[in-house]
């Protein structure tokens, strides 16, 4: 099975629970969108340092 970002989105049902505030970015990390209508995202694993 080839795993990709779209399959991760489907598997974790991101669209259902995130309401646009969370997604998986191009690096495969969970990211937060504090303003879903703007192009701003925070890579959550990167927050830890």
Model confidence over 7-49: pLDDT tens digits? 999 999 999 999 999 999 999 999 999 998 999 999 999 887 6
List own/partner pairs for 8-17 with CB under 8 A and 24 or more apart: none
Only one residue has tokens 């795993």, namely: 3
Residue 49 has a pLDDT of: 63
User: Which sequence spans correspond to the domains of the chain?
Assistant: 5-47
Contact 9, 25 (CB under 8 A): no
Would you tell me how many other CB atoms lie within 10 Å of the CB of residue 27? 10
Identify the burial level of 28 via C-beta atoms within 10 angstroms of its C-beta, where 0-12 means exposed, 13-18 middle and 19 or more buried: exposed
Residue 47 has a pLDDT of: 85
Q: What is the rounded distance in angstroms from the CA atom of residue 12 to the CA atom of residue 6? A: 10
State the pTM of this model. Answer: 0.80
Answer yes or no: is pLDDT of 1 > 80: no
């Amino acid at each position: 099975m080839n795993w990709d970002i779209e399959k991760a989105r489907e598997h974790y049902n991101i669209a259902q629970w995130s309401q646009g505030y969370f997604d998986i970015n191009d690096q495969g990390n969970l990211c937060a969108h504090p303003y879903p209508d703007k192009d701003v995202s925070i890579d959550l694993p990167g927050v830890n340092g």
